[in-house]
Structure 1
Amino acid sequence: MRARKLIKTAVAELKASEAIDHWQKGRERIEAEDLLAFVMGGDEPDPDDRIGNAERDAFEGLIARRATGEPLPYIKGYTEFRGLELISEPGVFVPRDSSEYLAEQAVKRLRGRRSPVHVDLATGAGTIALSVANDVPKATVYGTDLSEDAVKLARRNARRLGLKVRFATGDVFGGLPKTIAGTVDVITAHPPYVAMHEVDDLPDEIKDWEPVHTLTDRSSDGLGFVRQTVAEAPAWLRPKGWLLMETDPDRARDVKNVMADGGFRDVRSTKGGDLKITRVIVGRPPA
C-alpha cells in the first residue's frame, strides 16, 4: 500500500475518535505522519512510496492505540522538546510543546546572571529543568516533584543527555537543600490547575492516561498548588528573582491575582512561542 493511502485512512480513524481532543487544525495528519515516520525508522516516506506489509501492520496498530486516546509520547516512548529527546512513560506527566515558551522565558532571565540558580517545580520528566540546563550550562538547576516515578524518570533523562540537574522528591519546595534559600534566580512551575470537580470534563486522552496529581491538586478551585507556591517562593528567591507559572488562558487572571495578592511585583500574563495556547504568569517577589 502507498503511504498516501495509509495516511488518509489513519487520519480518518483519528478524526473519528471521541477520545482525542481535536483542538488543533490538521493535528490528526501531523500525528499520523509522525507515527508512520516512527515505524519507518525516523524518515517520513514520500506519498507515493510503497509501505511493506510488516510496516503497514505496525503503523495501523499504533494508530489504533492513538485512537483510544493514548498520548503519542507514551506510544513512541519518547518526546522531543527544544531539541532534546526525552524518555516518556505512563505514570509521568506528558510534556507539552506549548511549555517551550515557559522554558524560553526562564532561559532569557538566567543567561545574563553570573552564577544563576534555577528551580523547576512539578518537574515531571524534567522537561523544563533539563531544557534550562542545556541552554544555560553555567546554571545550577534543581527539579522537584511529588512523584517518585517522575523523579526517577527525570534522572534517567539527565543521565542519558549528559546534563547535570539535581532532582528530588518533595511537595512544592520539599526536597530542596535549605542552603539555596534566598539564592534562586528563577522558579518555574507548570502547576496542576484543574479544579477537582472539573477533572471528569477533560478529554479522554488526558483524564484516562495522565496521573491525576499532575492535573489537579484536589482543591475546589484548582489553585491550591499555586497559592502554596506563591506563599513559599519569596523565601527561596533572590530579591531580583522571578516566579514563572504556566497556566491555561482561562486560569490566567486567577493565577495573576493570587500572585498579586501574595505581594509579587511586576505581575503580568505573557504568551508566545509557536503554540500560543497557554499563558506564563511572571512576577518578582515582594520587596
Structure 2
Amino acid sequence: MRAVPTAEEVLRDAERTLKASRAVEHPHAGKERIDAEQILEHVLGREPDPDETLDPSAARRFGRLLARRAAGEPPAYITGREEFHGLWLDVGRGAFIPRQSSEWMADQAIRRLRARSRPVHVDLATGVGPVALAVASALPRARVFGTDLFARPVTLARRNAERLRLRNARFVRGDLFAPLPRALQGMVDVITVHPPYIGTRELRTIPHEILGFEPRGSLTDGSPEGMGLLSRVVAEAPGWLRPGGWLLVEVSPDRSKQVAGVIRRAGFRDVRSTKGPVPVSRVLTGRI
C-alpha cells in the first residue's frame, strides 16, 4: 500500500484483517467488506470515493475503529447507529442491536393495524424501539407503546422517537405490561415481542460478538430453556388485547413449533408460523 492510501486500498486491507479474525462472525461472503465500508463511512461522514486518498487523521481513526471490529465488537456499537425499516436508529452498549429479520414482525403488525380506525400497538422488550418506531412511522394515527425492563434501551428509544419526530410513540420502563396505562387493558389491537429466548444451557454456543458485547438480559431470561418470559407474555396478553386482537412473537425457527403450542394452549386461535425474507427467524401469530 502506498504511503497515502486510497479509500479502496484501505478497505481491501481492512477486509483481509476482518477475514483473518476469529472473533468476527463470517455469516456470508462479503460481510467483512460491508463492515469495513460502514466504519469508513462513519469516519468520513459520507460515502467514500474509492479513488480518494485518506488524510492521516481519518486513516488513524479508521484503524482504531477497525481494531475494535476485529476484536469482535459489532459495527452498530462502533458507529452508534443501525438502519431498521428505513429508519436510522441510535444504538449503543447496554441495548440489543436491531436485526433486519425483525422487520418482518413490524410488517406483520402494520398489516394488521392498518385497517383499524384508531389502532393501538404494544411492543414488549422493545430495546431501542425498532418495531415500535417502524409501526409509528408507517401509521401516524396509531398509538404505540414500547416497554423494556432496562433503562439504557428505553433512553435510546425515547431519543430515537424524538429525533424522528414520532410523537405517537411512547416508551416506558418496566416489566412487560406493568408500566402501561391501565386504561389500555382490553384495548390493544396488536402486541409484538422478540423475547430473550436463549436458554442458559445454550449461551455457550452464542458467538463472541453477540455474547461478549450485547446485554445478557436481551439474550436470555435466565431460564434453562428460555421460555420463562415468553410464557408470561402469552399468559398475560389476553387481558390487554381487544377481541380479535393479535399477538406476534419472533423466535428462532427451531423454537417455532414449541412456541406455537404454548400460544394455542393459552386460548389463541388462527396460530401460524410465518417466515419473512430473512430466514433466521419466524414470527408466530395468533389472535384472541
Match of 1:205 in 2: 209
Q: Does 1:281 align with 2:280?
A: no
Question: Residue 185 of structure 1 aligns to which amino acid in structure 2?
Answer: D
Query: Which residue number in structure 1 is paired with residue 25 of structure 2?
Result: 21
Q: How does 1:141-220 map to 2 (within 5 A)?
A: 141-164=144-167, 165-220=169-224
> What is the TM-score of this pair, normalised by structure 2?
0.95
Residue correspondence of structure 1 range 186-265 to structure 2 within 5 A: 186-265=190-269
Match of 2:95 among 73, 88, 92: 92
1:58 maps to amino acid: R
Query: How far has the Cα of 1:116 moved from its partner?
Result: 0.2
Deviation of 1:182 (Å): 0.7
CA distance in 1 between counterparts of 2:149 and 2:240 reads: 18
In the alignment, the residues of structure 1 paired with residue 148 and residue 52 of structure 2 have an alpha-carbon distance, to the nearest angstrom, of 45
Work out the CA distance in 2 between the residues paired with 1:39 and 1:168.
Answer: 33
Query: Partner of 2:45 in structure 1?
Result: 41
Q: Which residue of 2 aligns with 1:122?
A: 125
What is the match of residue 78 of structure 2? Answer: 75
Structure 2 gaps of 5+ residues are none
User: Displacement of 1:50 after TM fit?
Assistant: 2.2
Counterpart amino acid of 2:251? Answer: T
Rounded to whole Å, the distance in 1 between the matches of 2:210 and 2:106 is 22
Distance, in Å, in 2 between the alignment partners of 1:20 and 1:282 is 34
- Alpha-carbon distance in 1 for matches of 2:227, 2:250: 12
- Distance in 2, matches of 1:80 and 1:226, equals 26
Pairing 1:31–2:41 present: no
Deviations 1:5-43 (A, max 9, x none): 211111111112222221233211111112122222121
Letter matched to residue 161 of structure 1: L
SS at match of 2:234: helix
The amino acid that maps onto 1:178 is R
> 1:91–1:211: 8 Å Cα contact kept in structure 2?
yes
How many residue pairs align between the two structures? 283
Q: Which amino acid aligns with 1:215?
A: L
Cα shift at 1:239: 1.3
Secondary structure, aligned partner of 1:162: coil
C-alpha separation in 1, matches of 2:218 and 2:126: 10
| Cα distance in 2 for residues equivalent to 1:60 and 1:250 | 39
Amino acid across the alignment from 1:232: E
The question of whether the paired residues in 2 share the 8 Å contact of 1:118 and 1:140 is answered with yes
Structure 1 residue 221: deviation in Å? Answer: 0.6
SS of the residue 2:190 aligns to = strand
User: Could you tell me how far 1:147 is from its partner in structure 2?
Assistant: 0.5
What stretches of structure 1 of length at least 5 have no aligned partner? none
Residues 205-227 of structure 1: CA distance to partner in whole angstroms, max 9, x if unpaired?
A: 11111111100001111111111
Given that 2:146 and 2:171 are in contact with CA atoms closer than 8 Å, whether structure 1 keeps it comes out as: yes
Q: Give the share of equivalent positions with the same residue, in percent.
A: 50
Worse-superposed segment, 37-46 or 174-183: 37-46
The partner residue of 2:276 within 260, 267, 272 is 272
Q: Which residue of 2 aligns with 1:138?
A: 141
RMSD: 1.3
Give, in whole Å, the separation in 2 of the partners of 1:277 and 1:198.
17
